[in-house]
Amino acid sequence: MRERHPRIHVLVCNAGIPGRRSFLEVEPERLEQLVRTNYLSGVWCLRAFLPALEAAGRADVVNVVSVAGGVAFAPSGPYSASKHAQLAFSRAVAAELGPRGIRVHTVNPGFVETEGFPQRKGLSSPLFRRLVIEPEDVARHVVRSLERGPSETYVPAWFRVFPVVQALAPGLVRRLAPKSAYRKRPESH
C-alpha cells in the first residue's frame, strides 16, 4: 500500500455496525464484533496508515464516532460502550498526533439513515424519526470540519447537549429516556 500511496493527506475512519441489544441480551460473539468493528478497526487503520500520514507533512484524520459515544441508555449499552472507546481513542490521539503535524477531527453524528442503520424504521417515536439525518449531511459536515481545523463536533450541532446533560446529570437522562426509543425487532447482523 505504501508503495502506491507513500503520502496520505486525509484518512477517514468510519466503520460501524449496529448493536441495539442490552448487555443482558447481546450474544457474546456480537459484543466482541461490536468492539472489534466500532473501536479497534479505527485503531488498526490509523496505525497502518500512520507512516503515510506522517510522510505527508501535514495530514488530517477524521474519526466518525457517534453521539452514542457520549450518551448511554438502554437498550444500546454495548453499542454505546464501543463508541465511547472510539471517542476516548480519538481524543487521546488528537493530543498525541498534533505535534507530528496530524490534525484529528472527531465527528459525532446522531441518527443517520443508512443501509446498516435503518433509523426511520427502527425508531418508535415520531419525534426521534424527525431527528434522522442523511449520510450526505455527515459528509458535508466532515468537509467543513477539515476546513475549520481539528475539533470535536456533532451532526447536527445541537446534539452536543445530550452528552453534556448526561455528564452533568446522569440520572436525568435515564429518567427522561423512553423505555425504548427503538421498536422491538430482531437485530440484523
Q: In what order do the strands lie in the sheet with 152-155?
A: 10-13, 59-64, 102-109, 152-155
Of 63, 53, 51, whose CA–CA distance to 10 is shortest?
53
Q: Which three three-digit cell numbers place residue 57?
A: 507533512
Helical (H) or strand (E) element with 155 = strand 152-155
d(CA 123, CA 22): 16
**Strands 10-13 and 152-155, how do they pair?**
unpaired
Residue 139 burial (C-beta neighbours within 10 Å; 0-12, 13-18, 19+): middle
From the candidates 39, 79, 154, 182, give the one annotated as an active-site residue.
79
- Measured between its terminal Cα atoms, the distance across the chain in Å is 30
Catalytic residue list contains 154: no
Q: What are the DSSP E strand ranges found in 2-142? A: 10-13, 59-64, 102-109
Q: Which residues are catalytic?
A: 79
